[in-house]
Amino acid sequence: MPPTCPERQRFPLPAVLRAAGRRALPVLALTALAATPGAAVPAEPPATLPDPHIPGLQAPAAPLVNGAPAQTAEYRWERCRRYGTLVTADAPANHWPLGGAGATAPDTAGGATGNWTGPHDPAPDGPLTGDPATGTTFDGVATILSVPSVTAPFTGTAAHTVEAWVRPARHDTRYRYLWSRQTSDAAGRQGTGVWIRQTGIGFERFRASQFGIRHYCTIGLNSKEANNEELAEAVMELIPRFALKEGVVAIGEIGYDEQTPLEDKYFRLQLELAKELDLPVMIHTPHRDNKSGTSRSMDVCVEHGLDPAKVVIDHNNEETVREVLDRGFWAAFSIYPSTKMGNARMVEILRQYGARNVIVDSACDWGISEPLAVAKTARLALQSGISEDQVRLACYQNALAAYGQSGQMKEEDWLDRAPIDQRAVYEGNSILRGGREPVVENPKNRRSMDDLIIE
Ligand SMILES: [Zn+2]
Ligand 1 mean position to 227 CA, how many Å?
A: 16
What letter would DSSP give residue 330? E
Residue at 286 is within a domain: yes
In a shared domain, residues 154 and 238: no
How far is ligand 1, taken at its centre, from the CA of residue 246, in Å? 23
Structural domain tally of the chain?
2
What is the distance in A from the centroid of ligand 1 to the CA of 253? 6
What residues contact 42, with CB distance under 8 A and at least 6 apart?
Answer: 81, 129, 130
Q: Is residue 371 part of a domain?
A: yes
Distance 287 CA to ligand 1 centre (A): 9
pTM above 0.75, yes or no: no
| The pLDDT value given to residue 95 | 86
The Å distance, Cα 226 to ligand 1 centre, comes to 14
**What is the reported pLDDT for 168?**
77
85: nearest Cα among 25, 3, 7, 160: 7
Q: Are 254 and 282 in contact (CB under 8 A)?
A: yes
Regions in the chain scoring below 50 on pLDDT: 1-43, 152-153, 201-202, 454-455
Give tens-digit pLDDT for 377-406.
999 999 999 999 999 999 999 999 999 999
> Which letter does DSSP use for residue 63 in this model?
P
- Quick one: pLDDT at residue 14? 28
In a domain, 437, yes or no: no
Are residues 270 and 398 both part of a single domain?
yes
Question: Are 140 and 185 members of one domain?
Answer: yes
pLDDT tens-digit readout, 233-252: 988 988 887 887 788 999 99
Dihedral sign of CA atoms 93, 96, 102, 103 in order: positive
Please, what is the average pLDDT of the chain? 77
Any domain includes 425: no
Asked if residue 9 is part of any domain, the answer here is no
Find the 214 Cα to ligand 1 centroid distance in Å: 22
d(CA 147, ligand 1 centre) in Å: 50
Burial of 433 (0-12, 13-18, 19+ CB in 10 A): exposed
What is the extent of the structural domain holding 246? Answer: 217-408
